[in-house]
Amino acid sequence: MSPHLQVYRFRLSMFLSIANRAAGVAAAGGSALGLCWISAAAKGPKSFSKVQKVTGNPLGQMLMAGWALALVYHFVAGLRHLAWDSGYRFSKKEINEDGPVAVGVTLGTTAALVAGIVGVAICRSRKKAS
């Protein structure tokens, strides 16, 4: 543990900082699983239908939504880091202002992405069925 973590009052920035690291690890794990998709597509229709069973399953979809959340948050936090490294929005006040915005943007973008992708997939499978 870093020295006396418990003596500090909780700040959103602390959580967002460690969450960025955790999201990076989760995004990497998800990307490793994502390789299953591309390798199955390369292998052939049989393997691909196996992967589609996972992606069509509610548990698989929750996993993918989690992957999307991790990727989107790591992306948003990464953009903040690039801004900070360039000398923008790096005052204490600005960092505190932008934290909740980052949370909102992450949740909104993830929800929109997940809903959009699921919607497109459902539309396509209905078209095929009819």
Partner 1 sequence: MSNPKKPHVTVMRSQLSRARGLGSGQAGVGHWWAERASAVALVPLSGWFVIQVFRLAGASQPEVAKWGARPFNTTMMLSLVILTFYHTQLGLQVIIDDYVHGKAHLPAGLLMKGIVFLLGLFGTVSVLKLALAGSSRSTIAAG
Interacting residues toward partner 1 by CB under 8 A: 21, 24-25, 28, 31-32, 35, 38-39, 41-45, 48-49, 71, 75, 78-79, 81-82, 85, 87, 90, 113, 116-118, 120-125, 128
Minimum distance from residue 30 beta carbon to partner 1 (Å): 10
Judging by beta carbons within 10 Å of its beta carbon (0-12, 13-18, 19+), is residue 126 exposed, middle or buried?
A: exposed
Closest CA to 102 of 115, 116, 89, 87: 89
* CA 87 – CA 78 distance, rounded (Å): 14
- Binding-site residue positions for heme: 74
Minimum distance from residue 41 beta carbon to partner 1 (Å): 4
Minimum distance from residue 114 beta carbon to partner 1 (Å): 11
Which lies closer to partner 1 via its Cβ, residue 12 or residue 61?
A: 61
Contact by Cβ (8 Å): 48, 40: yes
Token pair for residue 2?
Answer: 């870093």
Which lies closer to partner 1 via its Cβ, residue 13 or residue 125?
A: 125
Which lies closer to partner 1 via its Cβ, residue 9 or residue 58?
A: 58
CA atoms within 13 A on the CB side of 38: 6
